Chain A
Amino acid sequence: QKEVEQNSGPLSVPEGAIASLNCTYSDRGSQSFFWYRQYSGKSPELIMFIYSNGDKEDGRFTAQLNKASQYVSLLIRDSQPSDSATYLCAVPKAAGNKLTFGGGTRVLVKP
């Protein structure tokens, strides 16, 4: 089992719809979880982080964490073509701050 797993996609959504991305992790001791957006040819950009079970909202983004089930998800509401990118889930190893990245989910928002 990979430490951090994501569906590679592509996830194709129409403009204005909700994009739902999932990420599962293997280390039960993980305490923090990060979502990064990476446009083609660019470096990853932090868009959300979550530490506690439940939902965290920031603008059109909502992160959801369920530690018992070991998954974290990202919802993008009112998807725009500018949201087309690869979204990376990252989880620090329990003993420190070294990030393990999932393989990324490519999202395509079609006008």
Chain B
Amino acid sequence: SAVISQKPSRDICQRGTSLTIQCQVDSQVTMMFWYRQQPGQSLTLIATANQGSEATYESGFVIDKFPISRPNLTFSTLTVSNMSPEDSSIYLCSVSTGVGQPQHFGDGTRLSIL
């Protein structure tokens, strides 16, 4: 399967600031997704990153808070904006080669907000 590099692996940030997380894949993939995993919880989909167009957000997530870019088929970024302690989570990107195919995850970004 594809090699997925996500960075940073962890960060500690001040409230009110923003952080951009990068996800790089070593091969072209059809689909890229961003998830959040809050402490002790399962994964929740934030959005689907669409190549060359605006991301598709899930209920409860908005572009102003989580802007996403996907300039090509191997790279995407997620920005967590105006962070508050409630944003302390693990953020994960995943990739898939098509509908019905499994998703594979990057190593995640562990984010703590002070």
A residues contacting B by CB (< 8 A) are: 31-32, 34, 42-46, 49, 51, 88, 90, 92, 96-104
Known contacts A43-B105, A49-B102, A98-B48; can you find 20 more A-B pairs with CB under 8 A? A32-B100, A34-B103, A42-B107, A42-B108, A43-B90, A43-B106, A43-B108, A44-B43, A44-B105, A46-B102, A51-B100, A88-B43, A97-B100, A97-B101, A99-B45, A99-B94, A99-B103, A102-B42, A103-B41, A104-B42
Across-interface contacts of B42 in A (CB, < 8 A)? 88, 101-104
Across-interface contacts of B99 in A (CB, < 8 A)? 92, 96-97
Binary CB contact string for chain B from 21 to 49 against chain A (1 if under 8 A, 0 otherwise): 00000000001010000000111110010
Q: Is the interface of A mostly helix, strand, loop or mixed?
A: loop
Bound form: Cα–Cα A43–B106 in Å: 7
The reply to whether B96 and A97 form a contact with Cβ atoms under 8 Å apart is yes
Across-interface contacts of B48 in A (CB, < 8 A)? 98
Across-interface contacts of A51 in B (CB, < 8 A)? 100
The reply to whether A43 and B100 form a contact with Cβ atoms under 8 Å apart is no
Across-interface contacts of A43 in B (CB, < 8 A)? 90, 92, 105-108
Known: A98-B45, A99-B45. A31 touches B108 (CB 8 A): no
